[in-house]
Amino acid sequence: MHRKEKTVWAPNIPGWKNYALEKEIRRGLKSNHILIRIESDRTCYIVGEQWRGAAKGCSDAIFLAVGTGIGAGIIVDGRVIHGANDIAGAVGWMALQPPWQTKFKECGCFEYHASGTGIARKVGRIAPEAFEAYENGNTVAKKVINEAVLFWGMAVANLVSTFNPQKIIFGGGVFGPAGKLLPRIYTEAKKWAQPVSIRQVKLIKSKLGGDAGLFGAARLALNPNEFP
């Protein structure tokens, strides 16, 4: 997502490498006076949760979206972090396991191993079925999901040590079924994280579920100057 150019990059959508989304939306509108704002899904997730969900009242919080891919919406000191080129929060590229491998190029190390797509690839089943197999004691599913817990824990540790958030909210299609693993993820994160920050943070599931991004988009539309 490039707000200045008003284009988007979505590697999981063919043809959306530098797609002029605003122009496409504008063509479908009858009025040229309607404000259009292009924003990333991860920003909408955390804004929605701060407005009506699990991050309500927080000035510092992170939404960790784990689904087809992995991304993070980040609010620090009450402001959404965008980065110099609107790429902040692309945490799927966290380097969590050396050595670098060519297979990490398109999605990143963290996402390759611990996204819903990564879990499904390793187990040989779509993510919901992989978690069902895990619950039923399937050896492969247990190995893959236990490994994912380690990756999620390391990622949490890095986020906590870097941003010192009050809460990290887990959402996306994987959380969901992985919500019950949050205590284990926290235990793993404690091994790696800054010790004061990790004791102060809370790991919780999204309260808004699949609607978090819709609430965030609505908030940005209603109050466009609140999160510039």
Distance, CA of 199 to CA of 180 (rounded, Å): 19
Mean pLDDT of the chain: 93
pLDDT tens figures, 166-181: 999 999 999 999 999 9
What is the predicted pLDDT for the residue at 59? 97
Q: Mean pLDDT, to the nearest integer, of 47-53? A: 97
Higher per-residue pLDDT: 5 or 60? 60
- Residues 140 and 45 both lie in one domain: yes
Q: Is the peptide bond before 176 cis (omega within 30 degrees of 0)?
A: yes
Contact between 90 and 1 (Cβ < 8 Å): no
Q: Which value, in Å, is the radius of gyration of the alpha carbons in the chain?
A: 18
- Residues 82 and 15 both lie in one domain: no
- Residues 8 and 94 both lie in one domain: no
Tell me the whole-structure pTM to 2 decimals.
0.93
Nearest to 39 by CA among 210, 205, 164, 220: 220
* Domain hosting residue 15, numbered range: 1-38
Contact between 182 and 64 (Cβ < 8 Å): no
Contact between 119 and 130 (Cβ < 8 Å): yes
Q: Mean pLDDT, to the nearest integer, of 193-212? A: 97
- Residues 33 and 118 both lie in one domain: no
Q: Is 80 exceeded by the pLDDT of residue 6?
A: no
Contact between 215 and 53 (Cβ < 8 Å): yes
Sign of the Cα pseudo-torsion (83, 155, 47, 27, in order)? positive
Contact between 76 and 159 (Cβ < 8 Å): no
Q: Is 80 exceeded by the pLDDT of residue 11?
A: no
Nearest to 58 by CA among 163, 182, 188: 163
What is the predicted pLDDT for the residue at 28? 85
Can you tell me whether residue 178 is helix, strand or coil? Answer: helix
What is the predicted pLDDT for the residue at 1? 65
Distance, CA of 202 to CA of 107 (rounded, Å): 27
Q: Mean pLDDT, to the nearest integer, of 51-59? A: 97
Q: Mean pLDDT, to the nearest integer, of 198-218? A: 97
Residue 224 lies in a domain: no
Specify the amino acid at residue 131.
Answer: F
What is the predicted pLDDT for the residue at 29? 86
Nearest to 63 by CA among 48, 85, 82, 83: 48
pLDDT tens figures, 105-133: 989 999 999 999 999 999 999 999 999 99
Q: Is 90 exceeded by the pLDDT of residue 161?
A: yes
What is the predicted pLDDT for the residue at 5? 75
pLDDT tens figures, 99-112: 999 999 989 999 99
- Residues 79 and 168 both lie in one domain: yes
- Residues 163 and 61 both lie in one domain: yes
- Residues 1 and 58 both lie in one domain: no
Contact between 17 and 9 (Cβ < 8 Å): yes
Look at 33-42, 45-54, 56-65, 171-180 and tell me which has the smallest mean pLDDT.
33-42
- Tally Cβ neighbours within 10 Å of residue 221: 12
pLDDT tens figures, 87-103: 999 999 999 999 999 99
- Residues 63 and 9 both lie in one domain: no
What is the predicted pLDDT for the residue at 12? 67
Residue 119 lies in a domain: yes
Contact between 49 and 55 (Cβ < 8 Å): yes
Q: What domain count does the chain have?
A: 2
